[in-house]
Amino acid sequence: MEKTEKVLHLKSSRGRKVRVVREHYLREDVPCFSALCEANCRNEGKVLPGDVTHYVVPDVGVVRDFLEVLEFAELRGIVFMQTACQSVQHHRGRRQYNRLRSLLRDPRHNCILFSNEFQTYSYCPREKGESQEKWHSRCVYHAAVWYYNHLVGQKPVVMITEDQEAMVEYSSLSTGVYVISTQEYLQTFWPDLPAANELYTSIAQALRVRESESQEREYVEHLPLEVLEAGIKSGRYIQGTLNVNKHRAQTEAFVRIEGSTSKNSELSSDVLVPGWRQRNRAVHGDVVVVELLPRVEWRGRETALSNGDGEDRPAEEPQSQPMPTGRVVGILQRNWRDYVVTFPPREEVQSQSRNSQRILVIPWDCRIPKIRICTQQAEALQDQRVIVRLDSWESSSLYPNGHCVQVLGVAGQLETEVATILVENSIRVLPFSEAQLKEMPVNSADCPWRVEAGPEGQRRDLRDSHLVFSVDPPGCEDVDDTLSVRELPGGNLELGVHIADVTHFVPAGSLTDLEARSRATTYYLADRRYDMLPPVLSADLCSLLGGVDRYAMSVLWELDGRSLAVQDVWFGRTLIRSSYQLHYELAQGLLEGGGAEEVAELADLPVEEKKQRLGELRRALERLTHVARHLRAQRDRGGALELEGVEVRAQLDAEGNIAALVPRQPLEVHETVAECMIFANHWVAKKIQASFPHQALLRHHPPPRQEFFSQLCESASARGFSIETRSNKALAVSLDRAVDPSDPLVNRLLRMMATQAMSNALYFSTGSCPEEQYYHYGLALKHYTHFTSPIRRYADIIVHRLLMAAVEKDHGAEPWVALPNNKELQEQAQQINNKNRAAQQAQKQSTELFQYLYFRDKDPLTDERCMADAVIYTIRANGVLVFIPRYGIKGGVYLKNREGQVVSVRPDGGCDWQPGMLHRFPDRISASTAQGTHNFNLFDHITVRISVQVSRCHADSLYLEVVSSRPHQCTEPEPGGARGPGVQGKSELVQEVVRSAEEASQLEEERGRAPEIAGEEQEFRQSTGVTLYSVLQEIGELALLELAACPSPHPRTAR
């Protein structure tokens, strides 16, 4: 090893140049990570293949500015030099550097990092007077030559650069090492990869625009980082994430002060940031630093309904009490992502681009400002949805600069809009790769899969000793969990929960595991799903189907026969065979003495044997119900909350497609199964936390902030109810008492408001959170995790590995898999939390999309389906917020229009617009006109007309107009007849939209035209058609649960 010195010229946070001298050690045995190596390098981990035509070495400038191009999986054999990676770290910030590190770690990308600055013969010291750019280019070229010679010239090496001088200087110095421009490389070697060429052109144009920016300031410069950090520490400044109000994107944004070190005792709420100027180039989602304005400049939230048109009319809008108000003085972290945009109308494009190709495009997300891009395809991209990435937002520019990445398709088409939703939520789920599928076991008619006995004691065989059965929605394919209960000698009971052993098939670090970790969850949209695991696992080998042998992870409790207190608990791997695959209604029927003829497993048995086995099954269900009642009573005493949601099941036709959605009646068996799953999650949480106090993955539900309950308390008070919110138990008791016998919807709406006030439940590593914060507020449990759904949640896979490590630790054995430390586990937990939020939001937006498409082609004046009963649940200054049970829709109803007219109610209840005034009260709003005064009270039923406001650039929206102050009297039967309100209408909605889209696609094919976005369908649509999973997103829908609902296809796992 050779010691030398390395001189670095860096910039401080204040912009000063700093000269740093560091010790630098050189060695000869730096691995090359190539499969062609003949020098016996210690190449561990990712290795470049030998079947490529060449290796490519990007220069520093290419890695720094065109990393997105290098992310194309088709570009193979990329050697990233240490010099280039360090330049990204120093000049592009942590976010870009982490992106590069992720690319290097990803086994799906054919690239490696070569530490050229530690290799004795590839290291180049900086020469006196040499600029940093020239030195970097020389280092990369010298390393490329060394790499070519090290591999004995087996592969040519292509160095790509944006430095014209470097091309002239190095292009003819060494045989076998070619130096060309990035553009020439893409055009010569990858002419069949137009997406990469177009992306390069887009980024290059954006860079040229940035260089030609005017230096005249439009915004105040951000403060230096060290000033911001000192201000946060002293309490002068406040740190938080910027959240833009989607209904008032131009005028209102908020910064939550949680985690702030501010000493200001007045800060008990969010900080309001009014207007674009005060945001100072911060974009929704950025981590910002805010300075409070003088108290005389504080403003309140606007309380009137807004259609989100962005009009800036603060003087006209009624406001709440003044709240802390501030301005952004710095940005700690840019959380930019891919944005879907639409080009402005053709006439605007022509006026904008008379003298240049710089166009202002309009993001689909109205919380994002217009983005300036440079393109020559503005005319061709009319009416298309396009993905854009932000590059910069200098103080001299009114708008951020960006570049085009990909065209999704024609705006308004179903597949384009679904792709838009996925991109906007940073969800990218391509079909499983061949390499991933090769890891899967084979199960076919010619080669059936069979369980293996395994070493003695490794897996407990329960096939002959336990009556195991599952209870799920009808037609369920991915059966995660089964149950068992039996009486032990001596009178005690044994309760068993058996969960699919996914970790047996998905080893840690495998390609399938990495893909599942990246997805984190199965994504459920209104008409499709995107699985976390390949189908051979999710619907077959990991699914605990009836009558087949399956691997499981089991928890077995021995319960006292009288008190049902836990006497002992056993955790471990098992081998099970489910005897019965029941659905909820069948299980409930068996408990009530019927249903015997529907048990398929008993159909062909002799009468006596059938009678005997039916008796065993009924006794097991009765014991299970008895135990579940006890468990629920225990949690109720602790303060467990029962919040509102809609549970539905699907009726399938002969082909397995959805024929109808039926509201699931509240059956006791639902709670029975749910309690067993909660019990298992609770005990597993206690086990892994006890074994790994600082690196266990748990799930906590923080108590909600008291101010979030204000709407609930005010609404309940208007009906004469008092809601106590000091604890979860007090809240649960209050909600149980808040029942209006004349209108069951009142209690339902109150529970929805309580759910809306809740904070989200989150995963965390025990080493990153004090023990007093482990508590789950909603379930009233001190320890909780997710163990019971590993087929569709990656968190459960982590917990399974932790549980097996804990079991092995109890037996004195070393864990069979390396466990993540606290830091790594907390990073995984945060990633899973982010993905779960994205899944919830995508599910909600997908449901809204189908609502818009369903109503878009209907005439609201003549179509009875556009008229619906609505319940008022919130009073605003110029209208009310209503909930429509029939469709699960919530929205605003204006009682005052743009012309200043207000709603006038006729004697028959019909409504017209007339001059008048509105008067707002806590429990009602009064409309006074020449015809008289009418009060719209909280929880009143009114009739509304539903129509669609079409938007060219954003998502469409529903417009609700009051047509009668009385409840809606439907002149034709509700969809689904007596099957209940709401859900069936939504099922028809999904089916009709899907059918229309398929007919349109078929019509195009008949006309001889291929579907316009077939490529996008291949990329974004993993499962096609309406499946069972299309409707399971209905759980917790009712549109009021958008923050707290957890997107699980089974209600018992959405905790």
Over 70: is that where the pLDDT of 1038 sits?
A: no
How much of the chain, in percent, has pLDDT values that exceed 70?
A: 83
pLDDT at 769: 92
The b/e string for 682-718 (b: 16+ C-beta within 10 A; e otherwise) is bbbbbbbbebbeebbbbbbbeebeeebbebbbbbbeb
Over range 752-779, report the average pLDDT.
Answer: 91
- On the CB side of 815, how many CA atoms lie within 13 Å of its CA? 15
Q: Does 106 score more than 70 pLDDT?
A: yes
CB under 8 Å to 988, separation ≥6 — which residues?
854, 975
Q: Which of 1003, 649, 573 is nearest to 801 (CA)?
A: 573
Q: How do residues 907-928 score in pLDDT, each as one tens digit?
A: 999 999 999 999 999 889 999 9
Residue 989 is predicted with a pLDDT of 60
From 165-169, 227-231, 660-664, 784-788, the region with the lowest mean pLDDT:
660-664
Range in 173-177, 416-420, 499-503 with the lowest mean pLDDT: 173-177
Q: How far apart are CA 46 and CA 35, in angstroms?
A: 10
Mention every residue, 6+ apart, whose C-beta is less than 8 A from residue 907: none
Average pLDDT over residues 14-23: 64
Of 370, 392, 339, 359, the C-alpha closest to 207 is 392
State the DSSP H helix or E strand holding residue 18, giving kind and residue range, or none if neither: strand 17-26
Lowest-confidence pick of 90-99, 427-436, 457-466, 520-529 = 90-99
Q: Are 479 and 545 in contact (CB under 8 A)?
A: yes
pLDDT at 979: 38
Query: Of 207-211, 366-370, 839-843, 852-856, which gets the smallest average pLDDT?
Result: 207-211
Strand partners, 10: 18
**What are the percentages of helix, strand and coil residues in the chain, rounded to 5?**
35, 25, 40
Q: What is the pLDDT of residue 752?
A: 86
Per-range mean pLDDT, top range of 303-307, 424-428, 632-636: 424-428
Sequence-distant (6+) residues with CB within 8 A of 705 are 759
Answer whether residue 1034 shows pLDDT above 50: no
Q: What's the whole-number mean pLDDT along residues 581-591? A: 91
Q: What is the pLDDT of residue 763?
A: 96
Backbone angles phi, psi at 320, to 5 degrees: -80, -175
The residue-averaged pLDDT of 381-390 equals: 92
What pLDDT, on a 0 to 100 scale, did the predictor assign at position 191?
A: 92
The per-residue pLDDT for range 254-266, each reduced to its tens digit, is 998 754 445 555 6
Q: Which of 15-29, 609-623, 670-684, 760-774 has the lowest mean pLDDT?
A: 15-29
Q: Copy the structure tokens of residue 793.
A: 């949640």
The pLDDT value recorded for residue 992 is: 62
Cα(482)–Cα(555) distance, rounded to whole angstroms? 11
Average pLDDT over the chain reads: 84
Is pLDDT of 249 > 70? yes
Q: How large is the average pLDDT for residues 98-124?
A: 89
Q: For 630-683, how does the pLDDT look when each residue is reduced to its tens digit (9 = 90+)?
A: 999 998 888 888 765 443 333 334 543 333 334 445 788 989 999 999 999 999
List, for residues 147-170, the tens digit of each pLDDT value.
999 999 999 999 999 999 999 899
Amino acid residing at 999: E
**More confident position, 817 or 724:** 724
Name the residue with higher pLDDT: 23 or 591.
591
Confidence of residue 187 (pLDDT cuts 50, 70, 90): very high
Which residue in the block uniquely carries the two structure tokens 């006196």?
A: 128
Q: Tell whether the torsion through CA atoms of 259, 262, 266 and 269 is positive or negative.
A: negative
Instruction: Please give the pLDDT value at position 995.
Output: 60
Is the pLDDT at 976 greater than 80? The verdict is no
Q: What percent of the chain has pLDDT over 90?
A: 52
Mean pLDDT, rounded, for 346-358: 61
Q: Give the pLDDT of residue 1018.
A: 36
Which whole number is the average pLDDT over 569-589?
A: 93
How many whole angstroms separate alpha carbon 331 and alpha carbon 620?
A: 60
Mean pLDDT of 873-882: 92
Cα of 134 vs its chain's centroid, Å: 44
Which of 1-10, 509-518, 805-814, 901-910 is predicted least confidently? 1-10
Q: What residues contact 304, with CB distance under 8 A and at least 6 apart?
A: 317, 318, 876, 877, 878, 879
Identify the pLDDT of residue 410: 92
The pLDDT of residue 598 is 85
Q: Is the pLDDT of residue 1006 over 70?
A: no
Q: Is residue 1013 scored above 50 in pLDDT?
A: no
pLDDT at 871 over 60: yes
d(CA 439, CA 639): 46
Q: At residue 782, does pLDDT exceed 90?
A: yes
Query: pLDDT tens across 324-345, in order?
Result: 999 999 999 999 999 999 998 8
Identity (one letter) of the amino acid at 5? E
> What is the distance between the alpha carbons of residues 420 and 425, in angstroms, rounded to a whole number?
9
Instruction: For 890-906, write each residue's pLDDT tens digit.
Output: 899 999 998 889 999 99
pLDDT band at 762 (very low <50, low <70, confident <90, very high): very high
User: Is residue 356 scored above 60 in pLDDT?
Assistant: no
Question: DSSP letters of 660-692?
Answer: EEEEPP--HHHHHHHHHHHHHHHHHHHHHHHH-
Residue 1039 has pLDDT above 60, yes or no: no
Cα distance between residue 122 and residue 144, in whole Å: 8
Q: Does pLDDT of 1036 surpass 70? A: no
What is the rounded distance in angstroms from the CA atom of residue 943 to the CA atom of residue 951?
25
- What span, in angstroms and rounded, lies between the C-alpha atoms of 155 and 953? 49
